[in-house]
A and B are shown apart, each in its own frame.
Chain A
Amino acid sequence: MDLRPEQETGLRSAQVAGGALLLVLNNTLTAVEDGRNEILRHLGPLDPLVRNRLEVLFEELVSNTIRHGFAKHSAQSIHVQVKRTPGAVELTFEDDGVPFNLLEAQPPEPFTSIETARVGGLGIPLIVKMASALRYERPAPTSCTGFRPSNRTIISIAT
């Protein structure tokens, strides 16, 4: 695996093609803020609740991939496509981390008391519940750019 010194910049590249925003995020948690800012700038004004759902979904998916899917300090990356569709914003995430289908994740036990409550593991349930639609695919290894994604997660947020 290609290793590089700890990256401080979360955003490796950003471009707009065919009306869609294409981001490449580095393996660092600053990618959450850097990527979010690019997406909000691209989309312009949104209903406050729609914007919040988008921010929650982006934060949880990117931070979960970096924490649990990537090797520390690796050059692994997340490619994000953001586009408006009729009545929705659609985000497609591809990463070359550990294969993980969040739709197959075990739902957490319900809270019953503060003493027994789970402290972690809340990110995936938030993604599943807050997305208007959610799809997972294992991408075919067809990339000619050197990027070989092992996960593709497509999230739709109704506007």
Chain B
Amino acid sequence: MELQHSDVGEVRKVVLAGRLDTAGVDRIETKFGAVIVPAGKNTVVDISEVTFLASMGIRMLIATTRSLSRKGAKLAMFGATPAVKEVIETTALTDIIPLAATENEAIGIVAG
């Protein structure tokens, strides 16, 4: 599991790559929160290189989005593969964390 972050204007961009399963979340959860929450910026998360998503990964996304929300900022994901998208839709995660097709669309959601 790998993580990179950068800023696109006022928006923080985080790129995740690998498996968001029990083992992957164990490795990355602390860093994921650390690059997003303290900055308190609207954030987009590129999940196009996430090859697998299980409940532990969804738990991490919800916990971090909630912490960011308490700082008055939003988070949106973009670029899910069909397999990852099926898991996201099965859990109805998009009811609370938007999923966009592209980076620009995700930026539009959090900046809007």
Contact = CB atoms under 8 A, between A and B. Distances in A.
Interface of A: 29-30, 32-33, 48-49, 51-53, 55-56, 59-60, 63, 110-115, 117-120, 122-123, 125-126, 129-130
B39 interface: no
B55 to A, nearest CB: 4
Interface of chain B, main secondary structure: helix
Interface of B: 21-23, 52, 54-56, 58-59, 62-63, 65-66, 69, 82-84, 86-87, 90-93, 95-97
A55 to B, nearest CB: 6
Contact of B96 (A56, A114, A123): A114
B73 to A, nearest CB: 11
Interface of chain A, main secondary structure: helix
B22 A114 contact: no
Contact of A114 (B21, B56, B86, B97): B97
Given A49-B82, A119-B62, A55 B52 contact: yes
